[in-house]
Amino acid sequence: MPTNFTVVPVDDVKEGSNGGAPEEESKPISLRKIFQDKKGVDNVQEPHSEGEDDQKESSPFINGEQDKEYSYEGKNMALFEEEMDSTPMVASLLNKLAKYTNLTQGVREHEEAEDGVRRVAVTVPQMGTFIGVYLPCMQNIIGVILFLRLTWIVGTAGILGSLAIVSMCCICTLLTAISMSAIATNGVVPAGGSYYMISRSLGPEFGGAVGLCFYLGTTFAGSLYILGTIEILLTYIVPTATVFKDNGDAAKLNNMRLYGTCCLVLMALVVFVGVKYVNKLALVFLSCVVLSIMATYAGVIKTLIEPPEFNVCLLGNRSLKNEMFDTCTKREEDQTVFTNLRDLFCNSKYPNATCDEYYSLNNLTEIRAIPGLLSGVIRDNLWDNYGLADTMIEKKDLPSISPLVSSTDKDEHYVLRDITTYFTLLVGIYFPSVTGIMAGSNRSGDLRDAQRSIPIGTILAILTTSFIYISFVVLFGACIEGVVLRDKFGDSVKKNPVIGILAWPSPWVIVIGSFFSCCGAGLQSLTGAPRLLQAIARDGIIPFLQVFGHGKANGEPTWALLLTVGICEIGILIASLDNVAPILSMFFLMCYLFVNLACAVQTLLRTPNWRPRFKFYHWTLSFLGMSLCLSLMFVSSWYYALVAIMIAGCIYKYIEYRGAVKEWGDGIRGLSLNAARYALIRLEESPLHTKNWRPQLLVLCKLDSDLAVKHPRLLSFTTQLKAGKGLTIVCSVLEGTFMTCKKDAKTGEENLKAAMSAERTKGFSHVVVASNLRDGFSILIQSAGLGGMKHNAVLMAWPAGWKQARGSLARRNFIETVRETTAAQQALLVAKNIDHFPNNQERLKEGTIDVWWIVHDGGLLMLLPFLLTQHKVWRKCNMRIFTVAQMDDNSIQMKKDLQMFLYHLRLDAVVEVVEMHDSDISAFTYEKTLVMEQRSQMLKQMQLSRTEREREAQLIHDRNTASHSATNEKAAGSPPDRVHMTWTKDKLLNERNKQREGMAVKDMFNMRPEWENLNQSNVRRMHTAVKLNEVVVKKSRNSQLVLLNMPGPPKSKKGDENYMEFLEVLMEGLDRVLLVRGGGREVVTIYS
């Protein structure tokens, strides 16, 4: 409901005043923006205009009238007035939190939508511990396995083995309930049960994986309950209703499939029509369960007085099916008439008929099916009695004479084992009977005090059901004959359920009660599973499930129900309760495992938000529960366990790579932080060995005016060089102050992340705001990274616009970056024409990566091509290494030595030694140097201040004027009006064109006076750059990539303006170039 906050001045309050005071006495304040619902916001008008915010700051202290007009949270709170919009007053906040309500999914709101009547909202749910948690857990825990399989498990595994099975499973659920109680009491748990708890504790990946496992478990539980319903129907209620009349196993399975499918469709229609009918029948179904349990206890007590009149007929020591006969004798009492039993084993009714040999050799014995509690039968049922499929159930202490030639013709008259039994199979079949402990947490929205009710109700329900199961195991073994216990379907007691013949007053109490119990449990599964899937789909963590988040207008998950019915049909087609039970055991055990893991992780991390009200937990209990769950998974069925783990793993990886990014403050993130902290501390303990060295890149990106990445191919090249390994930090610098540019910095960082995602660059992004680019780059080079995870190489693009008139700043920034990386002992990679580099989708069919190894840089030049060829873009490129030999070097020996060096480095490359002979410096070199120095002079003068330019212009004027003294006197009186610069850009270009045009006809001798004035050091450097460029272009013009040693900048800053020109000449005529400057350490080694 919309909540309007009205603040009334204390002095103006009169007796009887309330929240409905006139508007002129009290006005709403800006806090309503925070606390009003969406519907209420549209109906509220702003009481003040745009300019009012400017007056607020001074009005309470200057103008008393304005103070009355603009009301706020009390005059004592004026100090916090400007923060009211973002930080509400505590009183208002507590008032809103006290009214927090949380509807459970699929209960109240769906009923209201179906009825078309809007009920009055109840602020505080009224369900307590008993009704809201205890009874739902009891209903979900006690089910089909108790009525249809527990007696068989006791007879097969024995009392001791059954107690071990029950104890393991109950302890597992109890430990899980303790962990669940800790999580459920650590804050408000909305409706969603285990999925919500796991996903918010372990993150969306684990939450989605376990949530789907829990969904599949709940869905297969529906199949289990439906198969149990049909088994009760066709075995005990209407045995003649079978469609397939054959007595074989195939006909039985087909009948289960047919009736199970019909029952599934009928239940799905009931759920589709309205969940309210299922909820209203829940109490009826629970009453059936309680009545059946009470009837069983009553039957046990009755055995002390008078055992039931149910007998079992045994031929020799073999148990017989007693459907076709009434008397367990070969002849009637007068010994003249044969009984119907003889007809089963003989080929005719006459005395001379041929009978089965075993029938002839053995006598018939009739014993009580339920000897009673004091009969001592408990001694016979203590130990296990496992057997193979299709073998007869026998009473070991009775005599039996086996025929010489065994025959299987009459085996259908004996009670046979339908499956091979062993301990681990029984564990998988029994475990579904202890599931359902999440029922209370699923209804947390309906509880008056969920943080108190969930632990108490769930643990009490588990203790109660554990007592029921353990007591039933002991009582069944103490009251019922062993051959009857091992009779799964009650064939030896006239097709009655074994637990039914023990119950009082009639077996029909168990039959009807278990039938409705299974129906109700199946409906509950078909109701809960679609809503669980809908909750997962609406979270948006699994993209392909989003369609199942939609439903009818009232919120009913129609599409999720259809998928649930489809998956449930798979379990129906299996048609065997014993085969379906281990499947859902796997999924529930997987869910419980992660509940324990979530509690253990949160406890060990000791996150500040981990403050459960339930205090009786410990991480050792959670780990014990987790280990027990994992053990039970593999004990029950190791192949089902592997399949369940694979399904959860695939879902986890799918969410990790394709799912939506969610931040729920999960424990896995805290675990990652702890692991990262530990690893960073360990990394700093010892220096990095050469074998572990790999380029940890700091990528300096440039953002355009729209704050988008200017060179996205730089990120592509980073991906190709790193292949997702090692550290990558993508950074950029914005000029300004952080207070004025923080929004731009955030936008730029988001754009960096988007570009990294598009180019599949795995790493970190960061945007720094600094007063100038130079300071920003310096900060990044010095401080990027953390501890042992710091970058050791810097990657940047070549500043292509450095020659422009305003490019001096770019030139200085670049040169200073080179100097700082060298001083920091970091490698530097500079990519020229980065926009021409291939993207991640291109595949270079052929070509070479040429390495020009001129000076030793620690082996980085040879390591980089190897790393590039590991990526699919460069995989088909061959590596060539060129080195330069001087006049005094032995080229042949150099080639052999280099080949041997590469062999020891395990690198495959073609080696070539290039000889560079000493030659005279060409006129072209002098010309290049002359133009370079002229341009440098021009740039220097363009950077002078106004006073310096005036002084320069005056000196030039003095040198070209005859009368120096007169001019000086005139200049001293008044400075010149116009400034004439020695060089301009146009003058430089014109002069360069004139010189190039005149080179063909001008006599070289006449130009030598100009060359003699050049700096000879620059001439030699230019000569090296020109000659080396000629060789590189000749050999590597058509290569896919050229790697060159990057010469260092001059130690004196006087030559900075020429350094860029040398590098430009060195790379002239080449398309893709990577200049490499080592970090001053060895990065490759020949040792293993």
Cα–Cα distance for residue pair 152/577, rounded to 1 Å: 13
Asked whether the beta carbons of 1081 and 862 are under 8 A apart, the reply is: no
200 compared with 848, residue with greater pLDDT: 848
Express each pLDDT in 96-118 by its tens digit.
Answer: 555 444 333 343 444 444 444 44
Express each pLDDT in 349-401 by its tens digit.
Answer: 777 788 888 888 888 899 999 998 888 899 999 999 999 998 999 988 888 88
What pLDDT score does 976 carry?
41
Whether pTM exceeds 0.75: no
Express each pLDDT in 23-33 by its tens digit.
Answer: 433 344 443 44
Residue 919: which pLDDT band, with cuts at 50, 70 and 90?
Answer: low
Structure tokens at 37: 């619902």
**Length of the chain, in residues:** 1088
Q: What residues contact 1064, with CB distance under 8 A and at least 6 apart?
A: 803
What pLDDT score does 687 carry?
75
Express each pLDDT in 730-774 by its tens digit.
Answer: 999 999 999 999 899 999 999 999 999 898 888 899 999 999 888
Asked whether the beta carbons of 595 and 196 are under 8 A apart, the reply is: no
Asked whether the beta carbons of 1072 and 849 are under 8 A apart, the reply is: no
Express each pLDDT in 1015-1038 by its tens digit.
Answer: 566 777 777 788 888 889 988 888
Cα–Cα distance for residue pair 177/435, rounded to 1 Å: 11
What pLDDT score does 1065 carry?
84
Residue 706 confidence (pLDDT) above 70: yes
Express each pLDDT in 777-803 by its tens digit.
Answer: 899 999 888 877 888 899 999 988 777
Range 663-668 average pLDDT? 67
Helix (H), strand (E) at residue 107: none
What pLDDT score does 458 carry?
93
Of the candidate ranges 193-197, 695-699, 802-806, 998-1002, the one whose mean pLDDT is the lowest: 998-1002
* Three-state SS at 796: strand
User: In one letter, which amino acid is 43?
Assistant: N
Express each pLDDT in 839-873 by its tens digit.
Answer: 888 888 888 999 988 888 778 888 899 989 989 99
Cα–Cα distance for residue pair 560/106, rounded to 1 Å: 13
Express each pLDDT in 418-443 by its tens digit.
Answer: 899 999 999 999 999 999 888 877 77
Dihedral over Cα of 851, 857, 862, 863: its sign: negative
What pLDDT score does 105 carry?
39
Nearest to 851 by CA among 821, 884, 826, 874: 884
Cis previous bond, 505, omega within 30: yes
Of the candidate ranges 259-268, 330-339, 767-776, the one whose mean pLDDT is the lowest: 330-339
What pLDDT score does 1015 carry?
57
Residue 146 confidence (pLDDT) above 80: yes
- Highest mean pLDDT range out of 125-139, 161-175, 587-601? 161-175
Of the candidate ranges 46-50, 315-319, 410-414, the one whose mean pLDDT is the lowest: 46-50
Q: Cα dist. 442→178, 408, 558, 698, 916 in Å?
A: 16, 53, 20, 49, 82
Cα–Cα distance for residue pair 138/847, rounded to 1 Å: 73
Q: At what angle do helices 507-539 and 249-273 cross, to 10 degrees?
A: 60
What pLDDT score does 277 carry?
72
Residue 642 confidence (pLDDT) above 80: yes
What pLDDT score does 447 carry?
77
Chain-wide mean pLDDT for the chain? Answer: 79
DSSP secondary structure letters along 833-858: TGGGS--TT----S-EEEEEE-S--S
With pLDDT > 70 as the criterion, what percentage of the chain qualifies? 76
Residue 227: which pLDDT band, with cuts at 50, 70 and 90?
Answer: very high
What pLDDT score does 122 carry?
41
Cα–Cα distance for residue pair 4/22, rounded to 1 Å: 14
Task: Report phi then psi at 617, rounded to 5.
Answer: -135, 160
1058 compared with 880, residue with greater pLDDT: 880
b/e 162-190 (16+ beta carbons within 10 angstroms → b): bbebbebbbbbbbbbbbbbbbbbbbeebe
Cα–Cα distance for residue pair 717/720, rounded to 1 Å: 5
Residue 332: which pLDDT band, with cuts at 50, 70 and 90?
Answer: confident
